[in-house]
Structure 1
Amino acid sequence: MSEYQLRAARPEDIDAVLAFWAESAEGTSISDDRAGVARLLERDPQALILAERAGALLGTVIAGWDGWRCHLYRLAVHPGARRQGIGTALLDAAHARFEQAGGRRADAMVLEHNALGRAAWEAAGYGREEQWRRWTKPLGVEGD
């Protein structure tokens, strides 16, 4: 197993990241498009952390810091690269980013039906908070 590198995503990575998520991530988000990822990179160029080996994308995590809370999204590792410590390394990089910024607690978005994801988050020391539920409203969308 050769080494891999962690780095912040750049605008030229957007298409590869979207293709990677389609293959390796669970579910899709309203922001999973070129414009959504470009906005993320423009607002916070260090938020999207990539793991790669020899130019191949192996994993991602979005470590979003809004000045108040630390949010984690899109932790994904390529199916052929799982169980090699890549997810742990991505989370360690995200946690370091948060701690440097003064963050006190990180939270993660995990789909209810994603058993593999729930197990990974539990193994990383995260726990579900039963008292919270996510409430959402799409913005700029007409109709229902």
Structure 2
Amino acid sequence: MIDLLIRSATPDDVDAVLAFWRESAEGTSVSDDAGGVTALVERDPEALLLAVADGRIVGSVIAGWDGWRATLYRLAVLPSYRRRGISTALLKASEERFLALGGRRADAMVLESNETGQRLWAAAGYEREVRWRRWVKPLVR
């Protein structure tokens, strides 16, 4: 077992988080830039959870709560640190956050092509919701 610290991200972590996601996360988001991550951390300072070991970010998850839905995004673990319980620790911290805020169900965003991620979510007790499809629209000025 590794010595792992789960903590909320700070504005000082933004560049390190983006570098970590480039190395560890599948897919990209329109918010994967300094402005997007900074806005998240400023709006909800406890939403972006980081797993830190050996002085570096080795895992992350966004545990977003809007007062109605508890949604998980960007669960990622540094490839060289996988299969050490980091995802489990991040999900536990996220679920505890949601329960404390009044959350009743956690939803996870998982890429259709991410088979490894789908197995991880299933092993963590999450079930695929086949009745719903996500609809998106980019917002541009």
Q: Which bin holds the TM-score, normalised by the shorter protein?
A: over 0.9
- What's the RMSD between the two structures over aligned residues? 0.8
3-state DSSP of counterpart to 1:3: coil
3-state DSSP of counterpart to 2:31: coil
Aligned length: 141
Query: Map of 1:7-18 to 2, 5 A cutoff?
Result: 7-18=7-18
Whole-angstrom distance in 2 between the partners of 1:9 and 1:35: 14
3-state DSSP of counterpart to 1:60: strand
Whole-angstrom distance in 2 between the partners of 1:131 and 1:8: 33
Alpha-carbon distance, 1:2 to partner? 3.2
Whole-angstrom distance in 2 between the partners of 1:37 and 1:66: 17
Whole-angstrom distance in 1 between the partners of 2:54 and 2:81: 13
Identical columns (%): 63
Is 1:110 the counterpart of 2:104 in the alignment? no
3-state DSSP of counterpart to 1:28: coil
Alpha-carbon distance, 1:4 to partner? 1.0
- Cα deviation per residue 1:117-136 (whole Å; 9 max; x = unaligned)? 00000001111111100000
Query: Normalising by the residue count of structure 1, what TM-score does the alignment of the two structures yield?
Result: 0.96
Match of 1:85 in 2: 85
3-state DSSP of counterpart to 2:42: helix
3-state DSSP of counterpart to 2:71: strand
Match of 2:57 in 1: 57
In structure 2, what residue type is equivalent to 1:68?
A: W
CA contact (8 A) 2:2 2:84 kept: no
Runs of 4+ in 1 over 2 A off after TM superposition: none
Query: Normalising by the residue count of structure 2, what TM-score does the alignment of the two structures yield?
Result: 0.98
Whole-angstrom distance in 1 between the partners of 2:81 and 2:69: 30
Whole-angstrom distance in 2 between the partners of 1:121 and 1:113: 14
Alpha-carbon distance, 1:54 to partner? 2.6
Match of 2:48 in 1: 48
Unaligned ranges ≥5, structure 1? none
Alpha-carbon distance, 1:27 to partner? 0.4
Whole-angstrom distance in 1 between the partners of 2:113 and 2:7: 30
CA contact (8 A) 2:10 2:41 kept: yes
